Amino acid sequence: MQTFDLEAQGLRALNSTLHAQAENTNQTQWEIINPKGSHAIAVGLDAPIEVNVKGSTGYYCAGMNKQATVHVHGSAGPGTAENMMSGTVIVEGDASQYAGATGHGGTLIIKGNASSRCGISMKGIDIIVHGNIGHMSAFMAQSGNIVVCGDAGDALGDSCYEARFFVRGSVKSLGADCIEKEMRPEHIAILEELLERGGCDAKASEFKRYGSARNLYNFDVDNAAAY
């Protein structure tokens, strides 16, 4: 295992070292010590490596991730795993606002709570949160799944497209054009796989499904006066 002391060696050295790891690297295990809330830790990775961050991170940790597994052993700042393409990001603590924003693929697992705007404009990522998520989560979400074992804040899924939201607890309010939907066997199957992947101690039958009412997809002539 490679250990990298972020405080001593610096961020630029860390990220360029991780970027230098190729598809077939032998150095697949990395440990980052002294993260101390620094920004942009392990961003833009594109190799099947595992990076363990021993502490809390600041803005944009594991952004644009491809293939890699980034495991934060602490809490994460705003924009964690933003625009992730593939791979896995795990946060042991809480994640601040817009975690997993615009993510195209991969899995983001948050073991604590996620703050506001979780999964905003997500495009295929799977986000699994053991705790609660904040207001305006999944705003304009296009595809992918969000699983919330706790509660969701205000305006969940406002103006969403074809993303699915599974919430076990309460939803403070639903955003425009987001509705509760029937939980059919295929959704139970999808959710069971997600709960398994996220290591959640929860039963799929306890969740409700939310998604787009698809009323905003097309122009409605009755609304013409509003424009």
Partner 1 sequence: MCGIVGLFLKDKSLEPQLGNMLTDMLITMTDRGPDSAGIAIYGDETAGNTKLTVQSDTPESDFAKLDSELQKKIAGKVAMRVKDTHAVLDIQADQVAAARAALAEIRPDVRVMSYGETLEIYKEVGLPKKVAERFDVRKMSGSHGIGHTRMATESAVTTMGAHPFNTGADQCLVHNGSLSNHNSLRRKLRRLGVHIETENDTEVGAAYLTWKMQTGSTLGEALQSSLDDLDGFFTFLVGTKDGFGVVRDPIACKPAVMAETDQYVAFGSEYRALVNLPGIEDARVWEPEPATVYFWSHNAAPTAQEKAA
Residue 116 C-beta: closest distance to partner 1, Å: 6
Exactly one of 4, 6, 38, 168 binds partner 1 (CB under 8 A); which one? 38
Residue 221 C-beta: closest distance to partner 1, Å: 33
Locate 225 and state its tokens: 């006066």
Residue 32 C-beta: closest distance to partner 1, Å: 14
121 binds partner 1 (CB under 8 A): no
58 binds partner 1 (CB under 8 A): yes
| Three-class HEC string of the chain | CEEEEHHHHCHHHHHHHHHCCCCCCCCCEEEEECCCCCCCCCCCCECCCEEEECCCCCCCCCCCCECCEEEECCCECCCCCCCCCCCEEEECCCECCCCCCCCCCCEEEECCCECCCCCCCCEEEEEEECCCECCCCCCCCCEEEEEECCCECCCECCCCCCCEEEECCCECCECCCEEEECCCHHHHHHHHHHHHHCCCCCCHHHCEEEEECCCCCCCCHHHHHHC
Exactly one of 71, 111, 123, 135 binds partner 1 (CB under 8 A); which one? 135
* CB closer to partner 1 out of 83 and 132: 132
Instruction: Select the span of 9-17, 132-140, 182-190, 217-225 touching partner 1 (CB under 8 A).
Output: 132-140
Instruction: Select the span of 52-60, 101-109, 161-169, 182-190 touching partner 1 (CB under 8 A).
Output: 52-60
Residue in 113, 25, 31, 115 with CA at minimum distance from that of residue 72: 31
96 binds partner 1 (CB under 8 A): yes
Residue 82 C-beta: closest distance to partner 1, Å: 15
Residue 117 C-beta: closest distance to partner 1, Å: 8
Residue 52 C-beta: closest distance to partner 1, Å: 17
63 binds partner 1 (CB under 8 A): no
100 binds partner 1 (CB under 8 A): no
37 binds partner 1 (CB under 8 A): yes
Given a contact cutoff of 8 angstroms between Cβ atoms, the answer to whether 53 and 71 are in contact is yes
Given a contact cutoff of 8 angstroms between Cβ atoms, the answer to whether 133 and 148 are in contact is yes
Could you list the residues that contact partner 1 (CB under 8 A)?
36-38, 56, 58-59, 75, 77-78, 93-94, 96-97, 115-116, 134-136
